């Protein structure tokens, strides 16, 4: 998965960078259009509502960003499937006991109890925590978003109380997600040490030595870039592509059902028209 050229090491191929860009744009849009709906009486919320032309426009943009994130999630599933099944890449984002040990040692290092920071591999424990937190948030936001987007369909199978509960959970998770990005992600990636790998795809040897020394050691030992031979790849692709096509159709059907599950009264009610009401004239006495 990694190669070095002129002291640069490939961290993220184009497919992963596309995923990041899709999620960056959709998440930012969701945050900017979602929080004003949760806090419409705040000065910032009122400003955004007025800037975008009212609640209907705000909801349309919010829903569009949600659809883009759904497609981004589907793309991520397909890319990960190819990486794991066809290329046989290690599932290095899975948490392990070592991550807990690294987290504890990092804490002890930060408060001065130990003198060395933990040595970590392709993904640090912080990156894994952020990844799985994002996935958990996506599941919560997707489930609660469906209940709010399709309340009539949802209440055919669930008690009506689930809809306001979903609204509360959706808003609370949104605040948590935005704060996590501002506090955790922004500090770890842009302030503590500006990491351009998700944009350029590469890191220098110095950066790798500082952040991913174990992966750097594997690269130099020739252990991090083993690929199957062409014949094996061809056989695996012949299996993966048909399965991926079926999975893709299933995900597209799910997204279509999510979006078009129902048409509520807001979109189907006949527009009101003014009608002259008969009013008999009563002569003045």
- When mean pLDDT is compared across 42-56, 103-117, 199-213, 260-274, the lowest value belongs to 260-274
What confidence score (pLDDT) does residue 261 get?
77
Q: Report how far residue 234's alpha carbon sits from residue 129's, in angstroms, rounded to the nearest whole number.
A: 35
The pLDDT value recorded for residue 271 is 61
* Domain range list for the chain: 4-263
pLDDT at 3: 45
Give the range among 70-84, 123-137, 265-279 with minimum mean pLDDT.
Answer: 265-279
Q: Bridge-partner residues for 10, per DSSP? A: 202
pLDDT band of 159, cuts 50, 70, 90? very high
Domain covering 4-263 assigned CATH 3.40.109.10 in the classification = no
pTM: 0.84
Percent of the chain with pLDDT over 90: 70
- Cα–Cα distance measured from residue 73 to residue 89, given in angstroms and rounded to the nearest whole number: 19
| Mean of pLDDT values over 32-44 | 93
Instruction: Summarize pLDDT for 188-235 with one digit per residue, the tens.
Output: 888 888 899 999 999 999 999 999 999 999 888 877 767 888 999 999
């Amino acid at each position: 998965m990694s190669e070095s050229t002129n002291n640069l090491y490939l961290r993220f191929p184009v497919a992963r960078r596309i995923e990041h860009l899709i999620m960056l744009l959709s998440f930012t849009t969701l945050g900017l259009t979602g929080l004003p709906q949760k806090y419409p009486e705040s000065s910032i919320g009122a400003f955004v509502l007025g800037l975008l032309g009212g609640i209907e426009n705000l909801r349309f943009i919010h829903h569009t960003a949600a659809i883009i994130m759904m497609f981004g999630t589907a793309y991520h599933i397909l890319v990960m499937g190819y990486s794991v099944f066809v290329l046989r890449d290690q599932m290095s984002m899975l948490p392990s006991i070592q991550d807990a040990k690294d987290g504890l040692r990092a804490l002890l290092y930060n408060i001065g109890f130990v003198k060395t920071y933990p040595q970590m591999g392709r993904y640090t424990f912080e990156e894994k925590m952020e990844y799985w937190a994002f996935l958990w948030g996506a599941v919560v936001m997707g489930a609660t978003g469906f209940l709010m987007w399709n309340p009539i369909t949802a209440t055919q199978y669930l008690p009506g109380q689930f809809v306001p509960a979903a609204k509360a959970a959706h808003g609370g998770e949104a605040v948590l997600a935005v704060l996590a990005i501002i506090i955790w992600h922004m500090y770890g990636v842009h302030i503590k040490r500006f990491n351009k790998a998700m944009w350029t795809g590469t890191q220098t040897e110095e950066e790798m030595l500082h952040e991913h020394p174990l992966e750097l050691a594997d690269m130099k030992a020739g252990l991090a870039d083993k690929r199957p031979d062409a014949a094996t790849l061809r056989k695996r692709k012949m299996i993966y592509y048909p399965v991926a096509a079926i999975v893709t159709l299933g995900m597209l059907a799910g997204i279509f059902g999510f979006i078009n599950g129902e048409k509520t009264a807001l979109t189907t009610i006949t527009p009101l028209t003014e009608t002259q009401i008969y009013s008999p004239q009563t002569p003045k006495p």
